[in-house]
Structure 1
Amino acid sequence: MAHVIVIPYPAQGHVIPLIELGQRLANEGVRVTFVNTEVNHKLVTSTWTEQESFKGLMNMVSIPDGLDSWEDRSEVGKLTESIMKTMPGKLEELIEMINNEGTHKVTCVIADGCAAWAIRVAKKTGTKSAIFWPSSVASLAPALSITKLIDYGIIDNNGLPIKDQTIVVSQTMPPIKPSNLPWAFVGDMETTKAVFKISVDVAEAATMTEWVTCNSANDLEPDAFSIYSKIVPIGPLLASNRLADQTGHFWQEDFTCLKWLDQNPVCSVIYIAFGSFTLFDQRQFEELALGLELSNKPFLWVVRPGMTKESTVSYPDGFIERTRARGRIVSWAPQQKVLAHPSVACFLSHCGWNSTLEGVINGVPFLCWPYSSDQFSNQTYICDIWKNGLGFDKDETGYITREEIKGKLEHLVSDKTFRGNAMDLKGKALVNVEEGGSSYKNLSNFIDWIKIKMPARD
């Protein structure tokens, strides 16, 4: 029996799609060992219910990330440096332990593109390997173009922009501002270098593996896949099972909000969620709250712990009382089920790729509020290429005002073109994962390859 180790980068937006892939493999009779860091393992398993359909084939395990329990995992540079030093050796030990047990030896390692160090471990242990990129091809393109970007004098050897020159890979792919490169958003040199090292590693690892898979679809990024022909679309993984209970969350989902949605008319509710990483300062948080109030529309707002830079979330005076009749605030939501609910009119989102795909496969138009990394290219897809959403404009002080929020909400909801484009895109996305679709065929071929036994080394 094929036995795959699946290892994500330790962030919410990476863990969820890798678990979806692991579940798919287990349902196809592949034994899966899913490897989280110790901290994330505790978070995930606290909300994890192993489904009967896995037949005991998916096992959740952990290895240390090298940091002490009290250290802050949101410091990306520090976390990444610790991972690079600690986790390769620990993964190698895990593979050796499993293989020495003799019953179900590891036959393949599937690594998140941001955990590409695992590909080198696989090679060292004589195990075949594959990359799974949990985001769009457009977000992987900068990493695969690093050598060219350096040669053309756009970035230096640390990934820092030299020229303020928009990077255009193709007219049908989102252009990239140097300041929006995946590794250039973070603001401090330690983190920039760490994220740039991740990008360099995935570009190198892509040359070492037979498969580089991607949680996207031909019909979402046709030109990107034609340019980067080695990258194989197998998604959106969640699209073929979009109403199922999703696993891998770091926070407990509040399912009571679904009953609240039942009480609202069709296409009336604004759903607001910014993922697991976005931070607001107090002024911007208050402008968002007051913009929702000004809109006079029902809203479901996910305000997770630690969403603002202050120690506790503070709403504008009287906001909760004034909006109680039409607003619902939760700390974490079952997002796939929320977006599939008929009462949802639009999705005000940070445009992380998971959220983008969830909105796309449910035909929901977007209001885009990107925070970092690939979220800017995802916004470009939404606003300029797919045309199923709108972005916000900041004022002269760099803030998105309550009036801007109210105006864009009214525009998006009243102009039926956005909903029409969103429904058209939903159809295209779903066709790819249905039997006979390109992603369906690619995933089937990938699973067949996983099940092929690798020849023994001399």
Structure 2
Amino acid sequence: MADSEGITKHHALFVTVPFQGHFTPAANFAVKLAARGFIVTFVTTEAFHHQRAASGAVSVDGHEVFADARSMGLDIRSELVSDGLPVSFDRALHRDQFSDAFYHLLPSHVVELMRKLLLAEPPIDVLISDTFNVWPSTLAKKFGLPYVSFWTEPALVFAIYYHVHLLVENGHFGSPTETRKDTITYIPGVPSIEPTDLVSFFHSPEASWRVLRNVGKAFEEAKGADFVLCNTVQEIEAEVIGALQLERPFYAVGPIVPASGECGAATSLWPELDCSQWLHSMPPRSVLYISFGSIARVSKRDMDEIAYGVLGSKFSFIWVIRPGSGSSEASPFPEGFIEACKGRGMVVPWCRQKQVLLHPAVGGFLTHCGWNSILESMWCGVPMLCFPVSADQPTNRKLVVEDLRIGIDVGSIGEVRGAEVSRRIDSLMGEAGGALRKEIEGAQKAVKSAVTPTGSSSKNLEQFTADLLKHLSDKKRER
């Protein structure tokens, strides 16, 4: 369909998945795509929208997400679909039921929306979907649309999932008897990785068969993608990206953040507190920022040990504790913690993370190693203390600690000890952390340079746009 000036307007349907770590880069990329002349219909689930509205992060109609983009004339439309469960259903409490519904009931609602939008003006002619969805390649082929797979984690994690068959063939996963524990050296683009550094779902297959079944289906779909976009930086993961580019058109376009002069999307799950006034009163590099993200659940035992470690260190802190992030007990902290940290610590339910990390008072970040948090820490030049909990986080930890050398471990799940946490906080935040700070400066330069007009991610985004437009033009000629 052409506009009044005879220029073809392309219409992308963009379906994300209902988690903060996926929603944020997807919404910001939707803005970037719209800024390049695309109409974008952005889709998330009714339940995820309800969660954000109930917390006060957005209004019931949700228009704040792309309000700035629309005010600048960008054509971004929002749609909600059911995941097959009532909005009131507790998805956090019943994760297996939610997983089954998301993977096997939601697709029919997406099909219904696609049929409607194929009759829109102009009709959709591109499907962009989070890689974790299990249906996009199948539906794209059904409706004759190109499929763009949108990957929100590191290229390293993509490569592991993409080559899961090699793990099975070599006995590192899926054996009915005993799996190998030796170093893995056969994944293309990954010189070596320990089994303990694989995505957590591979560690206990008997408990994670449902997730792995669904992820396996998602990556079969990804192998049918026309293009893959990845929220990473070419210079950070050059070897694995090069190997993946031999498999598929693979573009590193991260970190997906608003560029200078570019509007972003309002993506927070909860209202964000402004901690700047308190930070202004603190000396440079004297504050440790602590957050375990939007969905990670830390056991009471581990929370207690980390809390004792924080109290035993020499430094002040801001600790983000969202509702439900710890154990099921009323307080996630050990008895007396709040009283003991008065005057040197600040506990908040949610905050403007990037604003906090950019503040000169902040000298370190104790993180669960979610990829968005790692990218923000690199962007802000803040070295990390790593406590991975689940999913891609153990693999992300490997990137941070072993490959990039911009962070250190504080301990493992069930084994972390307060005294060691204190020692490592003091090491990272003190003079001994100078080597880490030097390495993080290099990482910061790489991620910031990538999104400059001549940077690798900007060039990759322009190349993707050109390749997609050519693909659409070729398809039109074939009709």
Aligned match of 1:15: 23
Deviation at 1:59, TM superposition (A): 1.9
Note closer, same or farther for the CA distance 1:245–1:407 as it changes in structure 2 (3 Å cut).
Answer: farther
Does residue 219 of the first structure (1) align with residue 235 of the second (2)? Answer: yes
Is the 8 Å Cα contact of residues 161 and 178 (structure 1) preserved in structure 2? no
1:141-180 aligned at under 5 Å gives the runs 141-156=159-174, 162-168=179-185, 169=187, 175-177=193-195, 180=198
Percent same amino acid at aligned positions?
Answer: 26
Q: Distance in 1 between matches of 2:182 and 2:211?
A: 21
Q: Distance in 2 between matches of 1:258 and 1:26?
A: 32
Is the 8 Å Cα contact of residues 350 and 371 (structure 1) preserved in structure 2? yes
Aligned match of 1:84: 103
Deviates more, 1:382-391 or 1:50-59: 50-59
Deviation at 1:217, TM superposition (A): 1.0
Deviates more, 1:239-248 or 1:36-45: 239-248
Selected match of 2:156 from 131, 138, 143 = 138
The residue matched to 1:114 in structure 2 has which SS?
coil
Number of aligned positions between the proteins: 451
Q: Distance in 2 between matches of 1:329 and 1:279?
A: 17
Q: Distance in 1 between matches of 2:203 and 2:331?
A: 24
Note closer, same or farther for the CA distance 1:241–1:360 as it changes in structure 2 (3 Å cut).
Answer: farther
The residue matched to 2:257 in structure 1 has which SS?
helix
Does residue 411 of the first structure (1) align with residue 427 of the second (2)? Answer: yes
Aligned match of 1:319: 337
Deviation at 1:237, TM superposition (A): 1.1
1:95-244 aligned at under 5 Å gives the runs 95-101=114-120, 103-156=121-174, 162-168=179-185, 169=187, 175-177=193-195, 180-185=198-203, 189=207, 192-229=208-245, 230=248, 231-238=250-257, 240=259
Note closer, same or farther for the CA distance 1:187–1:312 as it changes in structure 2 (3 Å cut).
Answer: farther
Q: Which amino acid aligns with 1:316?
A: P
The residue matched to 1:272 in structure 2 has which SS?
strand
Aligned match of 2:5: none
Q: Which amino acid aligns with 2:153?
A: S
Does residue 455 of the first structure (1) align with residue 471 of the second (2)? Answer: no
The residue matched to 2:290 in structure 1 has which SS?
strand
Deviation at 1:185, TM superposition (A): 5.0
Q: Which amino acid aligns with 1:232?
A: Y
Q: Which amino acid aligns with 1:37?
A: T
Does residue 374 of the first structure (1) align with residue 382 of the second (2)? Answer: no
Deviation at 1:100, TM superposition (A): 2.1
Is the 8 Å Cα contact of residues 272 and 302 (structure 1) preserved in structure 2? yes
- 1:191-241 deviations in whole A, cap 9, x for unaligned? x22321233223322332221111011111111112211322111112735
Q: Distance in 2 between matches of 1:297 and 1:53?
A: 40
| TM-score, length of structure 2 as denominator length | 0.87
Note closer, same or farther for the CA distance 1:207–1:2 as it changes in structure 2 (3 Å cut).
Answer: same
> Which ranges in structure 1 are unaligned for 5 or more consecutive residues?
none
Note closer, same or farther for the CA distance 1:209–1:172 as it changes in structure 2 (3 Å cut).
Answer: closer
The residue matched to 2:132 in structure 1 has which SS?
helix
The residue matched to 2:425 in structure 1 has which SS?
helix
- 1:400-450 deviations in whole A, cap 9, x for unaligned? 121111100111122211111101111012222211222111111222344
Is the 8 Å Cα contact of residues 309 and 421 (structure 2) preserved in structure 1? yes
Does residue 27 of the first structure (1) align with residue 27 of the second (2)? Answer: no
Does residue 422 of the first structure (1) align with residue 440 of the second (2)? Answer: yes
Deviation at 1:188, TM superposition (A): 5.8
Note closer, same or farther for the CA distance 1:27–1:91 as it changes in structure 2 (3 Å cut).
Answer: same
The residue matched to 1:238 in structure 2 has which SS?
coil
Note closer, same or farther for the CA distance 1:10–1:457 as it changes in structure 2 (3 Å cut).
Answer: farther
Selected match of 1:47 from 57, 74, 77 = 57
Q: Distance in 1 between matches of 2:215 and 2:334?
A: 40
Q: Distance in 2 between matches of 1:96 and 1:269?
A: 52
Q: Distance in 2 between matches of 1:186 and 1:247?
A: 36
The residue matched to 1:373 in structure 2 has which SS?
coil
Deviation at 1:78, TM superposition (A): 2.2
Deviates more, 1:400-409 or 1:283-292: 283-292
Is the 8 Å Cα contact of residues 200 and 392 (structure 2) preserved in structure 1? yes
Is the 8 Å Cα contact of residues 165 and 178 (structure 1) preserved in structure 2? no
Note closer, same or farther for the CA distance 1:164–1:204 as it changes in structure 2 (3 Å cut).
Answer: same
Note closer, same or farther for the CA distance 1:35–1:246 as it changes in structure 2 (3 Å cut).
Answer: closer
Deviation at 1:130, TM superposition (A): 0.5
> Which ranges in structure 2 are unaligned for 5 or more consecutive residues?
1-8, 59-63
Note closer, same or farther for the CA distance 1:123–1:27 as it changes in structure 2 (3 Å cut).
Answer: same
| TM-score, length of structure 1 as denominator length | 0.91
Q: Distance in 2 between matches of 1:394 and 1:154?
A: 21
